[in-house]
Structure formats: C-alpha cells, structure tokens
Structure 1
Amino acid sequence: MSVSMSMELITSCNCNTLQFQRPFHAVASSFSLSQAHFPHSLSTRNYHTLRFHPPLPTSPSHTQSLSTTCSVANDSTLILIQKKAMDIAPDLKGTSIFLVGMKSSIKTSLGKLLAGVLRYYYFDSDGLVEEAAGGESAAKSLKESDEKAFCESETEVLKQLSSMGRLVICAGNGAVQSSTNLAFLRHGISICVDVPLDMVAREVIKDQSQLSDSEIYTSEAYSEVLTQLIALHEEMRGGYGTADATVSLQKAATQLGYDDMDAVTIEDMTLEVLKEIEKLTRVKKLMEEAARPF
C-alpha cells in the first residue's frame, strides 16, 4: 500500500527566487496536505485537508533561546547576526535552508532564529508528516503498520518543501536515509547541526518528546540513552556527511574560547551557520562568473 498526498501551494505574491540547482517562482505563504488517499489501514479515520499557516518571520530582537543548555546572547551578537543576514541575502536569492542532524532543542531554536533574521518561513518536516497523518499517534501507527507508506509520506513532504523558496526546514532523519530524499535537499543549502550526543541524551531524559516516535527511548538511564543515541548517530553519519557544511557546537565553543559548551548561545550557532552559508554562496557566485563566456 502506498501514500498518495497532494500539497497545494498558495502564493501571496509573484516573486522570482533562485534555487541552487534550478529556478522556481513560488514563495510559500501557506500550503495544505491532503490525506484523501492514505493506506486502507488508516482509511477509517476522517481525514481532511490540513492547512499550515507559517507565522510571519519574527524579529530577532524578540528571540529567546529555547534550549535547556544554550544561553541567551547579548544584543551585540544579535546585531552581528542581522548584519550578516543582510550581507548574504542578495547572493542567497531566496534559496531554502535545510538543517539536518540529531533532533534537539538547539537545532530547533537555531532554525527559528535563522528564519527570523533571513525573513524566511520555518517548518519542521517531521511535524508536517505527523500533521498529514492526523497527529503523533496516527503517524506512529502508520510507521508501525506500513513503514513503506510512512517513508513515502516523508518523501512527499520533502518533495513539496524543496519546490518552494524562502524556507528554513528542520529536516528529520528520514531526509538523509534515501538517495531520493537527499536529492531534494540539493534544491537548497543543507547544513548539519552537530550537537554533542551527551547534551542530546540529557535533553531526551528530561523531555522525550524532543525525539520523534520512531526514536523515543523509554529508558531513563543516561548510559542507556547515550548508547542508543550513539548507535542512531552512527546509522545516520553517512547521510549527515552529505550536507553542504557542518556547524559544530563543540567547535564553536573552542573558537569562542569557552571551556564550557553550555556557554555557547543559539545566537552564536546561528552566526556560524550564516558564515557557512556566506561561504557557499560566494563559491557558487565565483563558479557562475567563471562559467560566463568572455
């Protein structure tokens, strides 16, 4: 059995943006997922069209860290972030940003702040898959009863998101588990957010909802959770390695002269992501100029 899903794109204006591999002409203001043709195992549910209305991009001056480990930065760092975002915007040209890596509040908070300073819209791909299935429990049932259909729903969400511009997408691990999904990430810029697994393990113990149903760890023992996270990370390592760039919390702490990685702020990490995006857009621009005929 397979999942057939349709996503309607509603544009609020006619804007031309440029993806890294191909042009497109759509800026997302809202879109819907239709659950009219879910597998028979879930066909008894009263599925309907769900609309997702992303909030208007937020001002970074009102952004607070959602991480339980990262601190809140001072205003000077926020000013640097805003300036860097303005500097790279002309070359970025609305290209979407995909964040991959182990799910954590640091990755989520980084994504939301990045969307705010770039004036982009923020989405979590796992959240969209769950909404399309009818909620967390329905998504878990679908994965357990028909894993192929669940994977197809992940692919469909990524396919539709990759066709739009001006998005920051926190991508789930399904995004790096197949060549098809990885190809969709190439429509934008992919950044791997590398957070130490011991920090992720502490988060999981405190709040297991930080991970999707497919990755929930029932144990409350730190050592057991860490062991499972290490195994999961090893399984995903190859996919994470395909990202255009990696931003490491540990490396950021070293560069900033912090002995304690907890001292690294979401704003610090966001600035590092913007620097990597700047490098990538600069290289692309140089390559385009080199390819022009004299």
Structure 2
Amino acid sequence: MKVVQLAQQLRPLVGHSRPTTICHHLKPRALANNNHDSITQFDLSLTLKRKAAEISPDLKGTCLFLVGINSSIKSNSAQLLAEALRYYYFDSDSVVEEALGGKDAVRSFIKTDLKGFRDSETEVLKQLSSMGRLVVCAGNGAVQCAANLALMRHGISIWIDVPLDMVAKQIVLENFQLPAAETINGSYSEVLTQLTAIYEDSRNGYATADTTIALQNIASRLGYDTLDAVTTEDMVLETLKEVERLMRAKKLMEEAARPF
C-alpha cells in the first residue's frame, strides 16, 4: 500500500536530531493570502518561546493532534505550535494525498473506493501516532471513525474551534485551499451550508478532544472587538497553556496513584 510506503519514508526523517516544521518532500498547504510552497517561517515572540520551553520537559515528545474544521487558522496554529516546540509538523490530509498520487487521484479514489480512502486515512494516523515530537493537523475524516479517535489517544488532541462563517469567508474571499477530499464550492451561503453539514457529521468526534481552543473565547478574554483581531500567536499561546494544564493534571493523578 502506498500509504505504508510513505510512512516508511517518514520514520527516518522524524528520527533526525534536528526537527523541521514540515516534511521536506511534502508541500505545506497554502495559507490565507500566502500561496508559497516553501516552509512557513514564524518569528517567535519571547513569551511564546518561554512557554514552550516551560512545558517541553513534561511533554516528553508527546504528539499533539489538532482537529476541527479545516481553516487557515487551524493550519497556521499547528505550524506555529510545531515551530515553538521544535516538533515536526504534518497535515494528515496532505500525507494521504501524497501517498495516493495527488488531489485528482484522491477525488477519483473517493468515487470508486470510499472505504479504501478511509482506510488510507486511518493508516496515516496509525503511522503518525506511533512516532513522537509531532504536531498533526488532522483532517475532518479523522474524527468520523472510532479507530482514528483511538489512535489520537496516543497523544493529546486539541479542538481548534473556529466559527463557520469565518471559514466560509476564507474559502470564498481568500481562496483557502481545502484538501481534495472536501469538494466545497459556490457562493458564501452555499459554502456555509456545506461547512455546516461537515461540522454536524464531525461534531461528536471534535467533542472527544482532550481540550478545546475556541477563537471566540480567546477574543473575549483578551478584550478584542472583533474575532479577526485574534492572532495565530494568541491561539498557540492559549494552546500551550491548555497543554500545560493537562500535563499538570496528569502528573497530579499519577502522584495520587502512587502507594504510600
């Protein structure tokens, strides 16, 4: 299977001593207002660097899986999170597309063998979840299968909750590139309707995540007048704080379970 072959190529790369933000032979998905194929570079603030350094020892290379409706906010957050932690970044949809031969091949595969395509998604998550020091931007298909949800339990799962109307605007106005498995197009209202259907199919899976980072909550907490004011760094800093909280709770539970 091509997915297994690709996974075998990923293992030596992830085992390299100097993590990069993304696998070099896979192109990062185009970000909003940025269609470059090169690796996205981030200028990390001192606050972000310090928080990442604080939690890294307790994290011990645990993988982080970001779920939620596909958007530039989610993918940007995943890439900056990887950069801050000095982790590798992978987009599971991109890995599947690479393994199956590109976007056109994926669309054809879905029409002729949907189960086979879903099995490919599971195989990718199986391989990635067995590694360490990864931030994985998981596609919507990842949360629609019990086996996939179980695989993500090997790490920490985080729901990046972005309002659907913002995502619809990204797709219509900013030409945000969706994975081949999602054929969303049309006017703003049509795109919003399609996104809502995906959300309803995936919501129960999103809800199984270990924690939720909601854009609206961050904007409210920081006193922003609009949701657009929330930066990628705001999202990642909040994510790091939540991961720190989860790791602290886990540590307390482990200590409480120790015999006297």
Question: With structure 2 as the length reference, what TM-score do the two structures score?
Answer: 0.86
How far apart are the structure 1 equivalents of 2:12 and 2:98?
A: 21
2:130 is aligned with 1:163: yes
Conserved? CA contact 1:204–1:210, under 8 Å: yes
Partner secondary structure for residue 240 of structure 2: helix
**Corresponding residue for residue 265 of structure 1:** 231
Task: Measure how far apart 1:206 and its partner are.
Answer: 2.8
Q: CA deviation at 1:212?
A: 1.9
Match of 2:37 in 1: none
Cα deviation code 1:33-60 (max 9, x no counterpart)? xxxxxxxxxxxxxxxxxxxx725xxxxx
What's 2:23 paired with?
Answer: 54
Q: Separation in 2 of the partners of 1:155 and 1:131? A: 15
Partner SS for 1:238: helix
- Give yes or no for the alignment of 1:108 onto 2:79: no
Residue 191 of structure 1 aligns to a residue in which SS? strand
Query: Which segment is superposed worse, 158-167 or 283-292?
Result: 283-292
- What pairs with 1:30-69 in structure 2 (closer than 5 Å)? 54=23, 66-67=31-32
TM-aligned CA deviation for residue 28 of structure 1: 3.4
* Alignment-derived partner of residue 28 in structure 1: 15
1:180 aligns with 2:143: no
In structure 2, how many angstroms separate the alpha carbons of the residues matched to 1:4 and 1:80? 38
Per the alignment, in what secondary structure is the counterpart of residue 157 of structure 2?
strand
2:164 is aligned to 197
**1:245 alignment partner, one of 200, 208, 211:** 211
| Percent of aligned pairs with the same amino acid | 58
Paired position in structure 2 for 1:281: 247
Q: What residue ranges of structure 1 are gaps of 5+ in the alignment?
A: 13-26, 31-52, 56-65, 69-74
Matches of 1:127 and 1:28, distance apart in 2: 20
Contact 1:111 1:168 in 2 (8 A): yes
Structure with the bigger percentage of helix: 2
The aligned counterpart of 1:96 is 63
Equivalent residue, structure 1, for 2:257:
291
Amino acid at match of 1:54: C
1:3/1:152 contact within 8 Å kept: no
Retained in 2: the 8 A contact 1:103–1:210? no
Alignment gaps of 5+ in structure 2? 25-30, 34-42
- 1: CA distance between counterparts of 2:23 and 2:2? 25
Displacement of 1:10 in angstroms is 4.1
Q: Is the 1:67–1:109 contact (alpha carbons within 8 Å) kept by the matching residues of 2?
A: no
Match of 1:80 in 2: 47
The aligned amino acid for 2:15 is: A
Task: Output one character per residue of 1:63-121: Cα deviation in whole Å (capped at 9) or x when no partner.
Answer: xxx555xxxxxx8x821111110110111000000000000111111111100110100
Secondary structure at 2:185's aligned position in 1? Answer: coil
Contact kept in structure 2, 1:96 and 1:189, CA below 8 Å = yes
Is 1:128 the counterpart of 2:95? The answer is yes
Please tell me whether the aligned partners of residues 66 and 159 of structure 2 are also in contact (alpha carbons under 8 angstroms).
yes
Q: 3-state SS of the aligned residue for 1:213? A: coil
What is the alpha-carbon root mean square deviation over aligned residues? 2.4
Alignment-derived partner of residue 139 in structure 1: 106
Partner of 1:222: 188
SS at structure 1 position matched to 2:256: helix
The alignment's TM-score, normalised by the length of structure 1, stands at: 0.77
Q: Distance in 2 between matches of 1:67 and 1:143?
A: 26
CA distance in 2 between counterparts of 1:188 and 1:92 reads 10
Q: Matched residue of 2:236: which SS?
A: helix
Q: Distance in 1 between matches of 2:46 and 2:173?
A: 33
The answer as to whether partners of 2:218 and 2:230 remain within 8 angstroms in 1 is yes
